[in-house]
């Protein structure tokens, strides 16, 4: 019973208490494990790096309680719209990640655009008032890269997507 309790506590240490998805520590462990698996079995996986657009206006205009509710709603939206085998994480305040197995870049880009649309439709008054949106960058995992390099590449891809979305408005 003690071993089971320890295992549960170790798992909970990697879950964000607010959003109930993996936290950065849990996500980085999963990413490193995924890279080892990809190297060994020549599998495929992609990383979606998602930044919320307009989230500052939620906190500034409606308070941090509303901001917390919006973050929970976004985490729930992401979890609801990905496969059970995919990993959803909150990396920092308004940055999320999704690790998708057995997907190529084209499938991941389609999923990223779908998730952007779903986040823009989050049904919370503060999210609607702030015109909450999201920008998602996509990177193919490669066993030749470290977890840190992949996160950096995904961050750059997200900022490129953010610029692209801004230019489209």
Gap between the Cα atoms of 129 and 88, Å rounded: 26
Q: Pairing between strand 95-101 and 133-140? A: unpaired
- Active-site position among 16, 51, 86, 94: 94
Task: Identify the helix (H) or strand (E) that includes residue 91.
Answer: strand 87-92
Q: Can 94 be counted among the known catalytic residues?
A: yes
Gap between the Cα atoms of 115 and 89, Å rounded: 14
Check: CB of residue 153 under 8 Å from CB of residue 132. no
Q: Known catalytic residues? A: 94
């Amino acid at each position: 019973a003690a071993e089971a309790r320890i295992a549960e506590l170790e798992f909970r240490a990697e879950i964000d208490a607010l959003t109930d998805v993996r936290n950065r520590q849990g996500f980085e462990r999963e990413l490193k494990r995924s890279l080892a698996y990809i190297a060994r079995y020549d599998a495929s996986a992609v990383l979606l790096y998602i930044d919320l657009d307009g989230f500052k206006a939620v906190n500034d205009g409606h308070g941090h309680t509303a901001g917390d509710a919006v973050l929970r709603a976004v985490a729930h939206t992401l979890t609801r719209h990905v496969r059970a085998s995919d990993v959803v994480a909150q990396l920092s305040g308004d940055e999320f990640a999704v690790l998708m197995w057995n997907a190529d870049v084209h499938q991941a880009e389609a999923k990223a655009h779908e998730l952007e649309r779903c986040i823009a439709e989050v049904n919370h008054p503060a999210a609607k008032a702030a015109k909450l949106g999201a920008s998602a960058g996509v990177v193919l995992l490669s066993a030749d890269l470290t977890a840190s390099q992949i996160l950096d590449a995904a961050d750059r891809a997200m900022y490129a997507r953010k610029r692209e979305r801004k230019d489209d408005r």
